[in-house]
Structures are given as structure tokens and as C-alpha cells.
Homo-oligomer: A and B are copies of this chain.
Amino acid sequence: MEYSKVFSNWRELYKTEWNSYTEHLFVEKIGDGTLPKIAFLTYLKQDYIFLKHFSRAWGLAIVKSDSITEMHTCSKVVHALLSEEINLHIKFCNNEGIPTKELEKTNEMHQNLAYTRFVLDSGYSGDFLDLMAALAPCIFGYGEIGVRLGSSQHSAVYNEWIKTYAGNDYQSLCYEVGELIDNSVTRKLGENYITSGKFQELSLKFKTATLLEKEFWEMADI
């Protein structure tokens, strides 16, 4: 998907890493419904913790915003994560017999911890763009996966999950974040941003976060 010009540059730069994440076996098995339920639940429980820290990172994006427009978008993402995505996880887990209380007690796995704390530190140590570069793979990757699985024939087993990310709400969030990133990059680094040293630093953050996304799929045995 062409959510953003800058994102397209990053995806092109790290094609192999990007595909190892978005076309991971775990993803394919969500699509054809062969992913063991137990693996999906392990993932969902970890992702519940992930979403908490990811929401914190989008909260940090509010702090580091340069304008009220940017703050609005980041605040909207926090709201979507806290209200919609997290509730989807709670509902799905409850349906599978995992009460919210148990969900709360999930032990955070170290791959999970590595990813979220890397994103947070990218924000703390850098500026708004450093944070965006580390946040981008999750937002856009799930958008792409949603569209790819949702627009081709797929099993009904994990349809609700697929629909969430393929749906209009999530997709328009992706475009809004894409515009946010493009505007901030060109405002700060100019139209030829691609040649600047700062952009190379951002790209490395995008790459690391992409690889940490790939490892996220590997927490559950499949």
C-alpha cells in the first residue's frame, strides 16, 4: 500500500526485512486458518501487553509533536489503540475462555519487551521523526497484511482479526499517519530528505523495528 512516500522509501530500502515480517509463516497461517488456536492466543496475550506500551509510545508522540494538527492525529491513534484494538483482544480472549484478569497477568516475553522499549527509547532519545520511524513498521505492516489477506480468499477462522486491519477505520488511520510522517519529514529535512544523514538514522530505526516485528511472530510455536 502507498500509505506514504517516506514509508515506500523505507520498504524499498529494506525489502527483505519487510517481507520477512509481513509475509511471515505466522501471517500466512492466519490467512488460511491453519494457525493453531493456542499459538494465536499466545500471540494475542502478548499483543495485549504490546498494545499497552505501543499506546504509551503514541502518547509520547503527542509530547514530541510540533503542532496541534500532529497532536490531534497522535491522540486519535492512542484512542484507537486503547479503545478499539485492545477491546478486540479482550473480546477475542474472553470468547476463548481467557478472562480479562488472566490477560492482565500475562508474563511479558523478552521479544515483546525488546520491541516496545526500543520504540520508546527511539522516541525519548530522538525527535518526533525518530519516534515515527520506529512506530511505522507496526502501523503500516498490519495495514498491508490486513489488505492482502482481506482482499484475497481467506479462511473464516481468524476473519475478525483480518477484518479489523483490512477495515476502513484502520486503513484510513494508516493514510493519516502516512501523511503525518511525509509532512514532518519534508518540513524538517526538505524534499531531498533521502540524502540527509538524519534520514539514514531514521531508516535504521525503521529497519530495527521491522526485524523486531518479525521476531514478534516467533514468540508462539507454530
Count of identical protomers in the assembly? 4
A68 CB contacts on chain B under 8 angstroms: 52, 82, 86
Contact of A197 among B61, B83, B118, B189 (CB under 8 A): B189
Find the B residue at minimum CB distance from A196.
Answer: B190
Q: A114-B110, A117-B121, A197-B188 are in contact. Are A71 and B75 (CB under 8 A)?
A: no
Interface size class of A (residues with CB under 8 A): 35 or more
Find the B residue at minimum CB distance from A72.
Answer: B82
Majority-rule SS of A interface residues:
helix
Q: Mark A116-132, 1 if CB is under 8 A from B, else 0.
A: 01101100111110100
Q: List 23 A-B contacts (CB under 8 A).
A: A55-B75, A56-B62, A56-B65, A56-B125, A62-B78, A63-B120, A63-B124, A64-B125, A66-B201, A72-B83, A110-B110, A110-B111, A110-B114, A110-B212, A113-B208, A114-B114, A117-B120, A121-B124, A125-B127, A127-B130, A189-B196, A189-B198, A198-B198
Knowing that A56-B65, A59-B65, A120-B124 are A-B contacts, what are 9 other residue pairs whose CB atoms are under 8 Å apart, sorted by A's residue number? A52-B71, A55-B75, A62-B78, A71-B78, A117-B117, A126-B128, A127-B130, A188-B197, A196-B196
Nearest first, the 4 closest Cβ-Cβ pairs linking A and B are A59-B62, A117-B117, A114-B114, A127-B127
